[in-house]
A and B are shown apart, each in its own frame.
With several copies, the nearest count.
Chain A
Amino acid sequence: MADEIFYWQALNRALDELMAVDEAIFILGEDVGLYGGSYRVTEGLYAKYGEWRVRDTPISEGSFTGLGVGAALMGMRPVVEIMTVNFALLALDAIINMAAKVPFMSGGAFPMGLTVRMPGGVAKQLAAQHSQRLEHTLMNVPGLRIVVPATPQDAYWQLKQAVLSDEPVIVLEHELLYFSKGQVDETLPPPPPHRALCRRQGRDLTIIAYSKMAALAEQAAEKLVAQGIDAEVIDLRSLSPIDWHTCAESVARTHRLLIVEEDCRFAGAGAEIAATLTERCFTQLEVAPLRLGGLDIPTPYNGRLEAQTIPQVEDIVAAAKQLFN
């Protein structure tokens, strides 16, 4: 039986195991070294691998992410930590115009073994500038892969797969997941990084979610039992590419679809999910797919208001019920 560890520990273990065997891997970011990482993900690695392989950087997101691009072009496997996704706005040229495009523009002559990890999402009253969600922006960039692990096991698997990939991979970690616990079994063979996971089987309704919302959707599903609704819950695990097959197969069975995301609803990730699954499952759908997303407003600092801007378990329950009216 595998032990229960924190999400951050699963990420830490993945990095440690890989760095021990592959010298091409190095970590860089603000306070990843001596300090051990804002969310402890790189704890202990500086002492073990030294400052060149665990590099504390100045506050220069655009350039240290670009540094990762350069190093990846020559065959290294840089793991860039952008302290939070909010600062990734400063690194989007490096991610979108460089990492995602340079190998293509060279006609396919260079690898891009770059991994960019970013904690994000609405945490606890960090206010509008520190509550970004960026999945929609990154999804629209061909050439990037995006994983959104929701459990320690997935964090362990997907980070390992990301680091070993020759494609640029963005790992979106939710700030409120770092101190969630779960089993991590290193001996199990991992599923493909983009494979969606059915977290709960059900007959009446498909709820698709990812990252922190996957757990909330599961809780909502348990509550829905009392209302006589048996919901299937799918955790996407990957936002680019998306495992459409698993999703469509579920919708074809349940005939109802609820999509839950924390991102602002307007032009959020859910829009793509709803649009594609409508195309694929139109005739099987009883009602229009429903998107439950964040409100289209910057995140207020006030805690009660903050909570009202993103889906809560009760909101998911209510939305699910709406699909049966």
Chain B
Amino acid sequence: MDRDQALAFLHDMTLARAFEERAAQEYMQGNIAGFLHLYPGEEAVAVGVLHACEASDYIVTTYREHVHALVRGVPAEEVMAELFGKSHGCSRGMGGSMHLFDAERRFMGGYAIVGETYPVAVGIGYGIVLKDLPEAVICFFGDGAVNQGTFHESLNMAALWKLPVLFVCENNQYQIGTEIHRHSAVPEVYKRASAYRIPAERVDGMDVLKVYEATQHALQQIRAGTGPQLIECVTYRFRGHSMADPGSYRPPVEVKAFQQVDPVEMALRELSLAYPSPEQIATAGPDCLLRLREYCLDQGHLHEESIKDLEQKVQAEVEAAVQFALECPEPTMDDAWDALLCNRNGEVLT
């Protein structure tokens, strides 16, 4: 990972964090309603995976997808406006937080029924083969989604027909309040892929570089025509399942332990060209990442200033997004009917 790339990752992860925390505030203010599923803690997954994709690849994801949209290049304004339900939102205010779309960026949607992403991705993969193009589809899903029947059905078809689909499990180890050992007989998600003879790998989802490299590798294989691949990213969400969930089913120590391997912190560490030694990590104690960051700064690979600059820049981006969303007009019922009937292509029923 070169310095430019590292800085790009760091930008996206910092933006992701700031965007989501601001969304939480706007939800409390009443500017956002419905179910709001936030991503803090899991940023390394979306950033690592999506930076390894081509613009011509298709993205299919879940209801926890603001960050995926941002990283894919959907302007923060349009994402925020959608959370506000406004007419310049990326789904014109019709979809909301759980249903972000962007046709131009091949962002094929956030799906809110757990398990829907698999067949959609497989269908796009099928179309790609029919058209004989070098494209691929990225299919995101959670650990809880692995037990839905569509996982099984879709992975079997993808493997049987060698479709160009990369399945990415965002294993944050919880299905709302149900911990993975209580929902999956085999909690190592990547092992399930063997039932379809799909090559699979488990990576540290708190480490953006590892995620990025695994994705690159998998996509190479896929573009070589060998069929689907699966990557399980082990990660953690710092917040509750959605804004409606206090998350009290998780032991505080568990939450804290994962916060200490915060991927944003880890990305900062990556910027340091002189990595800390294992001993240094071992002696770092419970606030190891904070200390590491200081250590990196001490080494001069990253200045306090540049971190502050980045944070300010990102805050300004988020602020602009909120302003845009606030000022944006509400959609009308005509817009809604239009969204429903536009595929009728002007056919008039009499």
Contact = CB atoms under 8 A, between A and B. Distances in A.
A104 B120 CA distance: 16
Contact of B113 (A70, A129, A245, A298): A129
B347 A107 contact: no
A19 interface: no
A109 B349 CA distance: 22
Interface stretch (B89-97, B199-207, B304-312): B89-97
Interface stretch (B38-46, B153-161, B254-262): B153-161
B340 interface: yes
A103 B339 contact: yes
Classify chain B's interface size.
35 or more
Given A30-B176, A298-B340, A125 B34 contact: yes
A85 to B, nearest CB: 12
A58 B153 contact: yes
A108 to B, nearest CB: 4
Nearest to B154: A63
Contact of B123 (A67, A110, A130, A167): A67
A111 interface: yes
Interface in A6-26: 23, 26
Interface string A72-107: 111110100000001101100110011000111111
Contacts of A23: 130
B34 A124 contact: yes
A228 interface: no
B120 A69 contact: yes
A97 B155 CA distance: 21
B344 A102 contact: no
A128 B130 CA distance: 31
Nearest to B92: A107
A199 B257 CA distance: 55
A71 B121 CA distance: 8
Interface in B295-336: 330-333, 335-336
Interface string A218-260: 0000000000000000000000010001000000000000000
A86 B99 CA distance: 15
B35 interface: yes
A152 interface: no
Contacts of B128: 74
Contacts of A66: 116, 118-120, 122-123, 150, 154
A105 B340 contact: no
B79 to A, nearest CB: 13
A266 interface: no
Interface in B140-192: 144-145, 147-150, 153-154, 156-157, 160-161, 175-178, 182-184
28 contacts: A26-B130, A30-B178, A34-B178, A38-B176, A58-B147, A58-B153, A60-B156, A66-B118, A66-B119, A67-B119, A70-B60, A70-B121, A71-B126, A76-B126, A76-B127, A94-B116, A103-B342, A107-B89, A107-B91, A107-B95, A108-B92, A124-B33, A129-B99, A301-B85, A301-B93, A301-B94, A301-B97, A305-B333
Interface of B: 33-35, 58, 60, 82, 85-86, 89-99, 101-103, 108-109, 111-116, 118-130, 144-145, 147-150, 153-154, 156-157, 160-161, 175-178, 182-184, 249, 330-333, 335-340, 342-345, 347, 349-350
Interface of A: 23, 26, 30-31, 34-35, 38, 52-53, 55-60, 62-76, 78, 86-87, 89-90, 93-94, 97-98, 102-112, 124-130, 142-143, 165-167, 192, 194, 241, 245, 297-298, 300-305, 308
